Chain A
Amino acid sequence: MLKRDESKFQKFLNGLKDNFSSFISKMRQIREKEKEEIALFILACSSILILFLITVFVFQAALPAFKEIGVLDFLFGKSWSPGYGRYGAAPLFFGSFMIVFGSVILAVAIGVFAAIFLVEYLPRGTADFIKPFIELLAGIPSIIWGFFGLVFVAPRVADFFDLPVGRTALTAAIVLSFMIVPTIVSISSEVIEAVPQQYRRASMALGATKWQTIRGVVLPTAKPGIVASIMLAFGRAIGETIAVLMIAGSVPLLPSPFYDYLDPVLPATATIATEMGETPAYSLHWHALFALGIMLFIITFVVNTAADIYVRRTKRGVIMV
């Protein structure tokens, strides 16, 4: 009786020991795994933290400007002349908007059709040969684009429209569109290529022509991806500084009439770039430039979020990036 109990106890003890050692080794595994996870977590957080700190800093630097000038006066004021204490940012943002809008329109027209042509009409080998060259365009530094605009595009715009100076919103939009076309072409062509062949075949079998197939099936299927490429291009366009600074004309006035693309403009990014160096730190002017930065930040954020929501809302079976 006692013996049996003893052996039972021994068994229990052994079992406990086994369990314990396995428990320890498990703990060790968990710890090692955790170490990796913690490291990754810290790294991931730091990137978010950096982003967060930038936002906080810029907001902080911009806040006095909003306080002193007033949000409405800042946003809708029609005159930007810091020398006279006038900080109306409307002409700057309108300038940015004109250039970006114009360039995105041009770039979509060129880029999406180029992508369609590459994927649907060119033989594969030729397309694969041409694509790297288009992507190379994206790598050209913006200062080079500025030069190109200054010596090549601006004189031609001046000649064509009979203007005294070729540096206009239109010139900037044209050059900027060249700069963002590669983004649209390379992403759109990948998305179009990813549209399953079976959709094309189904459409052809219904008697659709090639163009009907592209318009009716391929493009709608690829739409979210194409929209994403346009948004990326938009992001690049709105942040572009040097090239537009060189060729937009740098006049901080609203064009008259407001749709006149042949007027010179001064986009917000270019304003920050030119004026920041000559402004005493913590002056109102300095704060106002940060306020411009915050507005650019908000615009990009809103556009990106809108695009994200759009892409997320689209249904299954369509191609995303």
Chain B
Amino acid sequence: MVMEELPVQGQKAELKGFSAVLKEKRNLKNVELMAEESVREEKKLTLQAPKIEVRDLNAWFGDNHVLQNINLDFKARTVTAIIGPSGCGKSTFLRCLNRMNDIYPDFRMAGEVILDGENIYDDGSDVVSVRKRIGMVFQKPNPFPKTIRENILFGPLIHGIRNKDKLDEILEKSLKAAALWDEVNDRLDDYAFDLSGGQQQRLCIARALAIEPEVILMDEPCSALDPTATAKIEDLIYELSKKYTVIIVTHNMQQAARVSRWTAFLLTGEIIEYNATETLFETPERKETEDYITGRFG
């Protein structure tokens, strides 16, 4: 009996913790929503068709059935978080969305991932153009061992942009969008590894933005960063969601609560619950979700 009660108390405290985060976020948003434009934007969003629809997605690594019957709609121009314990398949799921799993020889999948009405796994679909439309940011900052400029322009150059003015414009635009321009504009030809970890991760985001994607996938983008750098990236994610569809995988539930509008909870390869972030964290429908966000396992 006593054993049963204790976690429940803890759980209430936890839930309170989340609602504090969410409340703060709502207040922030309310201020912004006062702007009429934002309201209109908001209305438009709710009417929009989903950017990515996942239909009956199953995936295997060898004999290991890592993703099971996943059906999910990702809304356009908003942040969707995917949470779940380690090894639940959330990174694999994210990589399914831009066909990055194709590079693993023992990977198999079935089902559809529909981007703007077209299945990216169709025979006629071109993996290069899929990845051009769906950018990705990795767990560990992974800039190329090149200069800042070369890092950003790598994507545009391989996609055939040669005009120097255009390239300079892309360089500035991407770095500004990733909130890095002010810190590096006087040393664009410095080596990328001379930047701090957080700056490197923003450089990777800028590099992903340089090919003008529509969707940005982020695979635990802050797990290798300190709290200050994390806060900067989170602000950036919020900014990016005004223009891009952002899908972020995180094992940090506070982070999911802070940055996302929608949250999906993934457990052992299955979507347990998918809902608006506020709803999922404050009044989870499923027992497993509640157990996970209150820290009973994970």
Contacts and interface: CB of A to CB of B under 8 A. Distances in A.
A316 B191 contact: yes
Most chain A Cβ neighbours within 10 Å, of B144, B193, B204: B144
B128 interface: yes
Nearest to B126: A207
A301 B105 CA distance: 46
Given A206-B207, A220-B146, A201 B100 contact: yes
Given A207-B158, A315-B145, A201 B128 contact: no
A105 interface: no
B138 A202 contact: yes
Interface in A101-126: 123
Given A205-B98, A206-B155, A207-B129, A221 B145 contact: yes
Contacts of B155: 206-208
Interface in A187-227: 196, 198-199, 201-209, 212, 216-217, 220-221
A198 B154 contact: no
7 pairs of A and B residues whose beta carbons are closest in the complex: A317-B145, A207-B132, A205-B136, A207-B131, A198-B142, A206-B155, A207-B128
B211 interface: yes
Interface string B120-145: 00000000111110011010101111
B131 A316 contact: no
B12 interface: no
A120 to B, nearest CB: 11
Q: Chain A: interface secondary structure?
A: helix
Nearest to B127: A207
A221 B103 CA distance: 20
Categorize the interface residue count of chain A. 20 to 34
Nearest to A199: B144
B208 interface: yes
A205 B145 contact: no
A318 interface: yes
A201 B208 CA distance: 12
Interface string A305-321: 00000000001111000
A202 B191 CA distance: 17
B86 to A, nearest CB: 19
Contact of A318 (B130, B143, B145): B145
A261 B146 CA distance: 40
Interface of B: 98, 100, 103, 105, 128-132, 135-136, 138, 140, 142-146, 154-155, 157-159, 191, 193, 204, 207-208, 211
A206 B146 contact: no
Contacts of A209: 128, 158
Contacts of A205: 98, 100, 131, 135-136, 138, 208
Given A207-B131, A207-B211, A201 B138 contact: yes
Given A198-B140, A216-B158, A315-B191, A206 B135 contact: yes
A314 B193 CA distance: 13
Contact of A204 (B131, B140, B207): B131
B158 A206 contact: yes
B154 A216 contact: yes
Contacts of A208: 128, 154-155, 158
A197 to B, nearest CB: 9
Nearest to B156: A206
Contact of B154 (A206, A221, A315): A206
Contacts of B154: 203, 206, 208, 216-217
Nearest to A124: B105
A201 B103 contact: yes
Nearest to B217: A205
A221 B98 CA distance: 25
A45 B105 CA distance: 52
A123 B157 CA distance: 29
Nearest to A209: B128
Contacts of B146: 220
Contacts of A206: 131-132, 135, 154-155, 158, 207-208, 211
Most chain A Cβ neighbours within 10 Å, of B155, B158, B159, B193: B158
Nearest to B133: A207
Given A201-B103, A315-B193, A317-B145, A207 B159 contact: yes
Nearest to A319: B145
Contacts of B129: 207
Nearest to A200: B103
